């Protein structure tokens, strides 16, 4: 209560839009006067109760409760024309309120603004309303199916809602231990020491020991190993989930992780025994399902995001090591893209509410790409449903950490596969299992602790005052407020994202297409969305099961807060949430009617609309015309199998880069059937080439690695029968001389023998996203640094050569291994006998280019670096101011560039020294005279070996020797 400056304010005017009561309606403005109450957790507006004469008026004049955690923006606006002081409130539930106060201070607008700010910005989750709320009266639960109690489970808290999900009971319902013995429970995470973000009870293949799991956990991000979340009732196909593997730039692998995935993908072959062999029986058996295996590893991310994770030590599976399945990229964007997309919708609603006409800008709605994201999620879930139910195969789902997009895809697929999850009890178990137990970060994604940056002031300067002191005071206050905002922590604001919101919206999309297949109605989903942010219950407050159940200096949080399911099971809520059109007979698995689907929903992922009731708008206003059709494009699937080049791998990146270097333009799709064998023969004249480069119009940076939606795409899982893609001939990679430890090509270099040249070879590097471009920029920077080192080495050699006689003398006196100067000037200015005549000089030419392999034999540095061509045999006096690196040692000679210096073997360097540069007179070139001394070839050799210390690489930073 200390943070509340004023607890009650009378005569407050409230303006707000009222959502339309019909689908075709538009919001209406409401203005009423009442009393404002401030509590530690809510802002309550109470209008006069004697003004309501009808039910609709009663609804508009009912009490309005605004929980502080739902506030996304609280702004102090300038004084109105009527002399009132307004405060504008916007909430995460898309509510908009403007409160007008008669006073600014002393119980007015400023005190209310400061009080709400101090109460909303919490430093601990224990300050939220859930730790003060008590449920009264006790809920009346719906009748549930009898479940055998688990004597080994932890005792349930006082509130029964916390015991909604019993892992042993739920997986026993799915058939673990009864229909199949290929799976077992493991207690490796019983104290959350193995993986703090996983539940205590995990289901893994029976043929995998805990020690193998311990090693496999080191290969997965945050030790989130592949674990079972759903076992299909018809064919033993499974849905498992995990985090990304720690592949990195070194292309690391784990035998334990590969074995774990192999056992998952073969768990259906012998369901009657726990320790069957991995290979299927040669004779057909009715108990073996999925004979034509299409096991999938679903990587929910775009390929550009997966490549960016490779640069930080993570990445995606190398399918050459997981030969029992294929991999599919779904191209679902990350949490930051989703947050910005929803922000654009909120801006469109705000502009419509502030405009005089109140018209919603559909251009902004289209710009948000919100329906595109929803359609992509649904399309990915449909791929999983088909692979499980129709192909009788297994699916492993992961994104980066496995708690956002993975939870969305897994939960949506199970809702469509199992009618149990479309009931009240099943939906609660699904949320508890795939969202709460598997560690979705509700606290971070929902932003429950708020931030001071969400509270702003937009005052106008007072032009009527001439008081300079007052202006200085306002400036000081503004500076102080700015400093507070800068030092306020906003890191958790970047973690906010509508992940669970998108899941609820996807459920609503399927519910809209199948209104008779869900026991609950739309009101149930809307109430769930409200309590996601209201912080009234402890269900959606924490980041993991460990945070909820492990005591931190006192009782566990599940014993101190009320579960949301207790409130939803109440009599009043149960009546409102029941779907009157629900028909459970449609899910009868034994039905053989022509339209029977065995309870599996095959929805249309492109039939999506804006959830207009959630956004408090009208259906016609948001979805009228062809609004939804513009964005419902579905997922851009990209599949990779064993032996195919993964665009996220090092081989794929090199191939894509080489395509751009060799003249490839545009964004093209490589053939998925590209093997690592020998180069294919050039296509014949009548062969059908790949289509021309597709237009890049409308392709954003984040979609740069995503293939275009096309029914003829080789990667599309919606391709029509008969579509063919003919591979183009590919030129050899310029990187073919590089060797890698993990060989996969015929030459053992780990790089495909065929490159991607021209338009059909791969993606243009210039089209990469910012993250991938940064990784390539680092490589370019390293190349520039190597070049700089080479130039510095050349400059050092030049400086040593300019030292003349003292340089040669220091070479004789230097100890072995110091690498200090060799060579001395001769009696002739254009001739020089150097002990470094056999030392190679780095070249500016690119040693990795194709031209480098066909270049002519390099030459060594001739004595005096003279031009080997004919020249007059005139004797010159030594000129120490002349450029010794030019064609001649005269002051007028121009300095030769590094490109003029070529390389030659050590044997040819001595020949070049002996041939000379002036008419080929060998007698004059054999030895030079300086200060009546002659340095023989033997002495040169001795000085060279002493200077280099027996290590020719000491002066060779680029590996020229």
The region that residue 511 occupies, defined by phi over 0 for left and psi between -120 and 50 for alpha, beta otherwise, is alpha
Distance (Å, whole) CA 197 – CA 439: 5
In a domain, 419, yes or no: yes
Active-site residue numbers? 399
Per-residue model confidence as pLDDT tens digits over 200-214 = 999 999 999 999 999
To which H or E segment does residue 930 belong? strand 929-930
One domain for residues 543 and 617: yes
One domain for residues 558 and 481: no
In a domain, 564, yes or no: yes
Final residue of a domain: which of 606, 624, 642?
624
pLDDT at 229: 97
Per-residue model confidence as pLDDT tens digits over 498-511 = 999 999 999 999 99
Give Dmax over CA atoms of the chain in angstroms: 124
In a domain, 342, yes or no: yes
Closest CA to 253 of 294, 215, 288, 197: 215
Place of tokens 């506030």: 71
Confidence tier at 61 by pLDDT (50, 70, 90): low
One domain for residues 479 and 617: no
* Sheet of 238-241, strand order: 227-231, 238-241, 395-398, 296-299, 326-329, 638-640
pLDDT at 90: 95
CA angle 328, 333, 339 (to 5 degrees): 155
The string of DSSP codes covering 557-579 is HHHHS--HHHHHTSHHHHHHHB-
One domain for residues 190 and 268: yes
Closest CA to 505 of 532, 535, 525: 525
One domain for residues 72 and 185: no
Name the percent of the chain lying above pLDDT 70. 56
**CB atoms < 10 A from the CB of 195, how many?**
22
Tokens of 704: 């740069």
Phi then psi dihedrals of residue 261, to 5 deg: -65, -35
In a domain, 897, yes or no: no
In a domain, 38, yes or no: yes
Cβ atoms of residues 361 and 353 within 8 Å:
no
In a domain, 862, yes or no: no
pLDDT at 570 over 80: yes
CA 822 to chain centre: 56
The helices-and-strands tally (H runs, E runs) of the chain is: 27, 20
Q: Region 868-887: what's the mean pLDDT?
A: 47
**Domain around 323:** 167-272+293-447+496-624
Per-residue model confidence as pLDDT tens digits over 593-627 = 888 889 999 999 999 999 999 999 999 999 987 65
pLDDT at 696: 34
One domain for residues 86 and 177: no
Distance (Å, whole) CA 437 – CA 162: 12
Q: Is 415 annotated as a binding residue?
A: no
Which range, 41-55, 126-140, 897-911, is most confident?
126-140
Distance (Å, whole) CA 64 – CA 960: 78
Distance (Å, whole) CA 321 – CA 247: 12
Final residue of a domain: which of 601, 624, 647?
624
Q: Region 568-574: what's the mean pLDDT?
A: 90
Confidence tier at 917 by pLDDT (50, 70, 90): very low
Tokens of 673: 């059937």
Final residue of a domain: which of 594, 624, 654?
624
β-bridge partners, 13: 33, 100
pLDDT at 411: 97
The count of domains in the chain is 2
User: Virtual CA dihedral for 881, 887, 893, 899, nearest 10 degrees?
Assistant: -100
Confidence tier at 631 by pLDDT (50, 70, 90): low
pLDDT at 835 over 70: no
Distance (Å, whole) CA 656 – CA 667: 10
In this structure, the strands spanning 638-640 and 326-329 are: antiparallel
Per-residue model confidence as pLDDT tens digits over 701-737 = 344 333 333 333 333 344 344 444 333 333 333 333 3
One domain for residues 219 and 249: yes
Tokens of 574: 């149960």
Closest CA to 510 of 414, 436, 624: 414
CA angle 353, 37, 101 (to 5 degrees): 55
Q: Could you tell me which residues come within 8 angstroms of residue 951 by beta carbon, excluding any fewer than 6 positions away?
A: 817
Closest CA to 883 of 871, 869, 866: 866
Which range, 459-468, 639-648, 814-823, 940-949, is most confident?
639-648
One domain for residues 112 and 237: no
β-bridge partners, 934: 929
Name the percent of the chain lying above pLDDT 90. 46
Closest CA to 315 of 260, 254, 372: 254
Q: Region 844-861: what's the mean pLDDT?
A: 45
In a domain, 173, yes or no: yes
pLDDT at 108: 87
Which range, 222-231, 639-648, 853-862, is most confident?
222-231
Q: Is 402 annotated as a binding residue?
A: yes
pLDDT at 211: 96
Q: Identify the residue with better confidence: 845 or 93.
A: 93
pLDDT at 628 over 60: no
Q: Region 870-875: what's the mean pLDDT?
A: 47
pLDDT at 720: 40
Q: Region 849-863: what's the mean pLDDT?
A: 43
pLDDT at 137: 64
Which CATH number belongs to the domain containing residue 105 in this structure? 2.30.29.30
Distance (Å, whole) CA 164 – CA 427: 10
One domain for residues 526 and 604: yes
Cβ atoms of residues 751 and 738 within 8 Å:
yes
Distance (Å, whole) CA 376 – CA 667: 21
Q: Is 923 annotated as a binding residue?
A: no
Distance (Å, whole) CA 345 – CA 322: 42
Closest CA to 326 of 306, 307, 300, 298: 298
Distance (Å, whole) CA 402 – CA 116: 36
Q: Is 607 annotated as a binding residue?
A: no
Q: How far apart are the first and last CA of the chain?
A: 78
Range list of H helices, 238-313: 255-265, 303-310
Q: Could you tell me which residues come within 8 angstroms of residue 869 by beta carbon, excluding any fewer than 6 positions away?
A: none
Distance (Å, whole) CA 294 – CA 286: 18
In a domain, 251, yes or no: yes
Closest CA to 382 of 588, 229, 606: 606
pLDDT at 453: 85
Average pLDDT of the residues of the chain: 73
Per-residue model confidence as pLDDT tens digits over 366-421 = 999 999 999 999 999 999 999 999 999 999 999 999 999 999 999 999 999 999 99
Tokens of 518: 């869900």
pLDDT at 641: 73
Q: Is 910 annotated as a binding residue?
A: no
One domain for residues 478 and 576: no
Q: Is 399 annotated as a binding residue?
A: yes
Q: Is 434 annotated as a binding residue?
A: no
> In angstroms, what CA-CA distances link 562 with 40, 134, 557?
18, 7, 9
pLDDT at 527 over 80: yes
Per-residue model confidence as pLDDT tens digits over 776-825 = 566 666 666 666 666 666 666 666 555 544 444 444 444 444 333 444 44
pLDDT at 848 over 90: no
Q: Is 549 annotated as a binding residue?
A: no
Secondary structure of residue 381 in the 3-state scheme: helix
Cβ atoms of residues 267 and 205 within 8 Å:
yes
Q: Region 684-710: what's the mean pLDDT?
A: 38
**CB atoms < 10 A from the CB of 960, how many?**
18
Tokens of 208: 């995998």
pLDDT at 136: 75
One domain for residues 329 and 257: yes
One domain for residues 203 and 71: no
Q: Is 333 annotated as a binding residue?
A: no
3-state secondary structure 395-445: EEEECCCCCCHHHHHHHHHHHHHCHHHHCHHHHHHHHHHHHHHCCCCHHHH
Q: Identify the residue with better confidence: 911 or 193.
A: 193
Secondary structure of residue 88 in the 3-state scheme: strand
Q: Identify the residue with better confidence: 175 or 738.
A: 175
pLDDT at 34 over 50: yes
pLDDT at 533: 95
> In angstroms, what CA-CA distances link 343 with 367, 473, 776, 949?
11, 35, 31, 67
Per-residue model confidence as pLDDT tens digits over 251-310 = 999 999 999 999 999 998 877 665 554 444 443 344 444 445 789 999 999 999 999 999
């Amino acid at each position: 209560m200390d943070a509340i400056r004023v607890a009650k304010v009378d005569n407050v005017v409230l303006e707000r839009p009222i959502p339309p009561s019909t689908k075709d309606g538009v919001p209406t403005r409401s203005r009423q006067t009442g009393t404002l109450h401030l509590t530690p957790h809510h802002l309550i507006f109470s209008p006069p109760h004697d003004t309501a004469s009808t039910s609709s008026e009663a609804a508009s004049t009912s009490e309005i409760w605004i929980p502080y955690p739902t506030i996304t923006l609280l702004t102090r606006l300038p004084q109105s024309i009527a002399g009132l002081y307004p405060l504008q409130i916007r909430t995460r539930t898309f509510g908009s309120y403007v409160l007008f106060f008669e006073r600014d201070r002393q119980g007015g607008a400023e005190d209310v603004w400061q009080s709400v700010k101090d109460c909303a910005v919490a430093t601990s989750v224990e300050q939220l309303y859930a730790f003060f709320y008590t449920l009264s009266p006790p809920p009346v639960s719906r009748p549930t199916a009898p479940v055998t109690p688990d004597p080994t489970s932890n005792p349930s808290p006082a509130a029964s809602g916390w015991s909604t999900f019993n892992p042993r009971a739920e997986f026993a319902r799915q058939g673990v231990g009864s229909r199949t013995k290929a799976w077992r429970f493991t207690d490796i995470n019983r104290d959350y020491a193995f993986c703090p973000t996983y539940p205590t009870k995990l289901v893994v293949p029976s043929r995998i020991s805990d020690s193998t799991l311990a090693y496999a956990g080191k290969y997965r991000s945050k030790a989130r190993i592949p674990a079972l979340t759903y076992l299909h009732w018809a064919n033993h196909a499974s849905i498992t989930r995990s985090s990304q593997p720690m592949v990195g730039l070194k292309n690391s692998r784990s035998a334990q992780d590969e074995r774990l995935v192999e056992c998952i993908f073969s768990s259906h072959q012998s369901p009657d025994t726990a320790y069957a062999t991995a290979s299927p029986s040669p004779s057909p058996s009715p108990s073996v399902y999925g004979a034509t295996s299409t096991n999938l590893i679903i990587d929910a991310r775009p390929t550009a995001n997966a490549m960016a994770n490779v640069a930080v030590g993570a990445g995606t599976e190398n399918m050459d090591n997981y030969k029992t399945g294929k991999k599919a990229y779904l191209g679902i964007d990350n949490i930051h893209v989703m947050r910005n997309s929803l922000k654009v919708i909120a801006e469109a609603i705000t502009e419509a509410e502030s405009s005089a006409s109140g018209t919603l800008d559909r251009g902004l709605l289209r710009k948000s790409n919100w329906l595109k994201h929803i359609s992509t999620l649904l399309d990915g879930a449909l791929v999983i449903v088909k692979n499980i139910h129709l192909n009788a195969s297994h699916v492993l789902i992961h994104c980066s950490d496995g708690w956002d997009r993975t939870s969305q895809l897994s939960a949506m697929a199970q809702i469509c596969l199992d009618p149990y999850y479309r009931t009240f009890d099943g939906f609660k178990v699904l949320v508890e299992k795939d969202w709460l137990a598997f560690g979705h970060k509700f606290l971070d994604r929902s932003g429950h602790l708020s931030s001071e940056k969400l509270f702003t002031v937009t005052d106008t300067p007072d032009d009527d005052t001439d008081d300079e002191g007052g202006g200085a005071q306002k400036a000081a206050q503004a500076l102080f407020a700015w400093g507070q905002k800068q030092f306020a922590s906003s890191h958790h604001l970047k973690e906010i994202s509508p992940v669970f919101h998108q899941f609820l919206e996807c459920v609503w999309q399927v519910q809209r297409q199948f209104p008779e297949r869900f026991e609950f109605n739309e009101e149930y989903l809307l109430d769930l969305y409200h309590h996601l942010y209201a912080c009234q219950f402890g269900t959606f407050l924490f980041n993991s099961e460990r945070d909820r159940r492990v005591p931190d200096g006192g009782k566990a949080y599940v014993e101190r807060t009320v579960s949301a399911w207790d409130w939803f099971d109440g009599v009043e809520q149960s009546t409102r949430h029941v779907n009157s059109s629900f028909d459970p007979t449609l899910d009868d698995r034994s039905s053989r009617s022509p339209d029977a689907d065995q309870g599996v929903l095959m929805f249309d992922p492109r039939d999506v609309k804006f959830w207009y009731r959630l956004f408090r708008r009208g259906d016609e206003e948001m979805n009228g015309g062809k609004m939804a059709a513009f964005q419902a494009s579905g997922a851009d699937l990209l599949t990779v199998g064993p032996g195919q080049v993964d665009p996220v791998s090092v081989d794929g990146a090199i191939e894509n880069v080489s395509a751009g270097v060799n003249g490839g333009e545009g964004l093209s799709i490589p053939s998925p059937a590209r093997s690592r064998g020998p180069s294919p023969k050039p296509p014949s004249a009548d062969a059908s080439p790949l289509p021309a480069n597709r237009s890049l119009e409308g392709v954003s940076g984040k979609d740069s690695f995503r293939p275009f939606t096309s029914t003829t795409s080789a990667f599309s899982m919606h391709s029509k029968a008969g579509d063919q893609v003919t591979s183009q001939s590919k030129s050899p990679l310029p990187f073919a001389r590089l060797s890698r430890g993990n060989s996969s090509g015929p030459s053992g270099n780990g790089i495909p023998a065929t490159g991607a040249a021209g338009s059909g070879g791969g993606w243009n590097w210039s089209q990469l996203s910012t993250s991938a471009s940064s990784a390539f920029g680092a490589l370019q920077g390293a190349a520039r640094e190597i070049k700089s080192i080479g130039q510095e080495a050349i400059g050092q050699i030049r400086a040593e050569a300019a030292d003349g006689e003292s340089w040669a003398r220091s070479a004789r006196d230097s100890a072995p291994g110091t690498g200090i100067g060799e060579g001395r000037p001769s009696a002739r200015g254009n001739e020089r006998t150097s002990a470094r005549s056999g030392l190679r000089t780095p070249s500016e030419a690119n040693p990795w280019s194709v031209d480098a392999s066909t270049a002519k034999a390099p030459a060594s540095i001739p004595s005096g670096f003279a031009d080997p061509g004919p020249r007059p045999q005139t004797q010159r006096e030594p000129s120490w101011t002349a450029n010794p690196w030019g064609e001649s040692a005269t002051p007028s000679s121009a300095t030769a560039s590094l490109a003029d210096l070529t390389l030659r073997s050590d044997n040819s360097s001595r020949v070049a020294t002996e041939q000379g540069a002036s008419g080929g007179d060998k007698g004059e070139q054999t030895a030079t005279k300086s200060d009546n001394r002659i340095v023989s070839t033997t002495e040169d050799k001795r000085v060279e070996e002493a200077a280099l210390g027996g290590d020719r690489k000491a002066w060779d930073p680029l590996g020229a020797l």
